[in-house]
Amino acid sequence: MRKKYKREMDYVYAIMNDLERKLERPIRDLDDVRTVMETLKKIREQEVDMELKIDPVEEAFNVITRYELPVSKEDLEQVDNLRYTWQQLQATALASHVQLLKMQPQFEEDLKNNLDKFRDDNAEYCHEYRHAGPMQPGLTPREASDRLILFQNRFDGMWRKLQTYQNGEELFGLPHTEYPELAQIRKELNLLQKLYKLYNDVIDRVSSYYDIPWGEVNIEEINNELMEFQNRCRKLPKGLKEWPAFFALKKTIDDFNDMCPLLELMANKAMKPRHWQRIMEVTKYVFELDNEDFCLKNILEAPLLQNKEDIEVSSRTEALNNRFTYDIVHKY
């Protein structure tokens, strides 16, 4: 019984300490006002529950002391102070309520001034977004991505202010102000974030392929990653599929996908110097295969897609010749 009601008492003290800590915060702005008002509401809601928790704790420790069972002096002092602490918290809550009433006119006046300024800031931001934002025609995907970051950062600050001001309107019973254009921009920015997050992931990952040494290229792994990017691309909202960044994104994935079969053929162990010589003649590009720094980028710099059919024919012919020679040797 001592252990059970010691836990109950610790739980009650934890609740009261948390509520008291929030009430003791200095009230500097509307966020502080909202925190205090929510705390006062919780205290009112906890009144009956607290009585139902405190009474059993006191009764349990009365039984323990009546029969002179072992109990620490510290626990007894906590039990004695439990109801007093709750009453002091209620007194603090009342004082905070009175303080809020006194401060209300000043905060209400500040809120009205802040709302006036916010309307001007909102009009300026919306104008700049429509005329110089990430959705402007003619921007490259990289330029649009950079502008998205700038406008998203500004928007996040404005949206936090708006949430605070709308909470203030609710607190003081003022008419709720709507900002439909800002809400529309929020939807567009959320969509743009999804698109350019995928775009940047694809560009960064494809760029990382370029530095892989040619002997360590894993075509299967690259294929799997590209397939994942394609799946993410298909899952993008329909409205995004008309934007320039989507076409650039899809082209990057598709081009690399088209190149993968060529890379797989060229990475085949059956490739001989004469075959590489044929590819160099077709592409008019020199592959320095003996160079220690020869990487995948040295392959990708060649005009492979433009000569895709010739490379495939040459590679497959060579592979078939090698297979035919292998079969003949092992047969005879």
Q: pLDDT digits over 143-171, tens only?
A: 888 899 999 999 999 998 898 888 888 87
The confidence band for 86, taking pLDDT boundaries of 50, 70 and 90, is very high
Predicted pLDDT at 332? 44
pLDDT at position 324 over 50 = no
325 shares a domain with 207:
yes
Does residue 303 form part of some domain?
yes
Return the CATH number at 57. Answer: 1.20.58
34 near 167, Cβ under 8 Å?
yes
Q: Looking at the domain assignment, is residue 115 inside a domain? A: no
Quick one: tokens of 260? 């993968």
Q: Quick check: is 179 in a domain?
A: no
Same domain, 202 and 321: yes
Q: Is residue 118 part of a domain?
A: no
Q: Kindly state whether residues 215 and 327 are assigned to the same domain.
A: yes
Residues forming beta bridges with residue 295, ordered by sequence position:
213
Q: Where a domain ends, among 85, 104, 123?
A: 104
Three-class secondary structure of residue 292 per DSSP: coil
Domain presence at residue 154: no
> Higher confidence at residue 249 or residue 80?
80
Distances (CA, A) of 146 to 141, 142, 184, 201, 247: 9, 6, 20, 14, 18
Asked if residue 284 and residue 191 are part of one domain, the reply reads: yes
Q: Mean of the pLDDT values across residues 2-20?
A: 93
Q: Is residue 156 part of a domain?
A: no
Rounded Cα distance, 52 and 132, in Å:
61
Residues pairing with 252 in the sheet: none
Q: Which among 104, 133, 160 is the end of a domain?
A: 104
Q: Do 97 and 197 belong together in one domain?
A: no
Domains held by the chain: number: 2
pLDDT above 90: residue 13 = yes
pLDDT for 115 beyond 70: yes
- Which of 104, 138, 167 represents a domain boundary (last residue)? 104
- Whether residues 96 and 201 share a domain: the answer is no
Tell me the percentage of the chain whose pLDDT exceeds 70.
92
Cβ atoms within 10 A of the Cβ of 73, count?
Answer: 7
The whole-angstrom distance between residue 303's C-alpha and the CA centroid of its chain comes to 38
Q: Is residue 207 part of a domain?
A: yes
Q: Which CA distances in Å does 142 have to 64, 114, 147, 262?
A: 74, 36, 9, 28
The pTM of the full predicted model, rounded to 2 decimals, is: 0.61
- The alpha-helical segments, DSSP class H, found in 24-140 are 30-66, 73-132
Confidence bin at 311 (pLDDT 50/70/90): low
What number of other Cβ atoms are within 10 A of residue 199's Cβ? 22
Please, which residues have CB within 8 angstroms of residue 99's CB and are 6 or more apart in sequence? 27
Residue-wise pLDDT for 167-189, tens only, equals 888 877 788 888 999 999 999 89
Q: What is the mean pLDDT of residues 244-258?
A: 80
Q: Using one digit for the tens of pLDDT, what is the confidence trace for 184-231? A: 999 989 988 888 888 888 888 888 888 888 778 788 888 888 888 888
Task: Decide if pLDDT at 319 tops 70.
Answer: no
Query: Do 94 and 204 reside in the same domain of the chain?
Result: no
CB 222 within 8 A of CB 210: no
Task: Quote the pLDDT of residue 312.
Answer: 66
The answer to whether residue 162 sits within a structural domain is no
Residues 214 and 312 in one domain: yes
pLDDT at 279 over 50: yes
pLDDT(322) > 70: no
Residue ranges making up the domain that contains 35: 2-104
pLDDT at 321: 53
Residues 189 and 322 in one domain: yes
* pLDDT value at residue 326: 43
pLDDT at site 170: 81
Average pLDDT of the segment spanning 313-324: 53
Mean pLDDT of the chain: 84
* d(C-alpha 311, C-alpha 320), whole Å: 14
Mean of the pLDDT values across residues 9-25? Answer: 93
Residue 314: predicted pLDDT:
59
pLDDT at 18 (0 to 100):
94
Q: Both 193 and 325 in a single domain? A: yes
Residues 192, 293 within the same domain: yes
Orientation angle between helical segments 141-172 and 244-266, nearest 10 degrees: 130
Q: Can you tell me the mean pLDDT for 283-312?
A: 77
Supply the pLDDT for residue 260: 81
Residues 197 and 327 in one domain: yes
